[in-house]
Amino acid sequence: FTMVITANGILKFCNRFVYKTSQDLVYYILFTMNELEIEPDEIFLKLCGNINEQSEDFQVINQYLNNVKISPFSH
């Protein structure tokens, strides 16, 4: 997955991660937030791609972060 973090329209972080489990995915998200000193209540997470609200990835992320939304993705 590719993680992009912006603040006030400015790119703060962009990196690509390979993960096998939903726990790996949430680890990368939380680790990056910690390194950038971003609190969980300060972030609005938009997910796009092959994910929906019933997927395990979404469910696990949603356990740690409150502001998680699925965003439509078009090519």
- Report the CATH number at residue 10: 3.30.420.260
Q: Taken in order 42, 47, 52, 56, is the CA torsion positive or negative?
A: negative
Residue 57 forms part of a structural domain? yes
Q: Average pLDDT in the 32-36 region?
A: 95
Give the tens place of pLDDT for each residue, 36-72.
999 988 889 999 888 999 999 999 999 999 999 998 8
Residue 63 forms part of a structural domain? yes
Residue 75 forms part of a structural domain? no
Query: For residue 25, is pLDDT > 90?
Result: yes
SS3 state of residue 74: coil
Query: For residue 74, is pLDDT > 80?
Result: no
pTM to 2 decimal places: 0.87
Query: For residue 75, is pLDDT > 60?
Result: no
Of 6, 41, 10, 40, nearest to 26 (Cα)?
40
Structural domain of residue 55, as residue ranges? 2-70
Q: Can you tell me the distance from the alpha carbon of 13 to that of 53, in angstroms, rounded to the nearest whole number?
A: 25
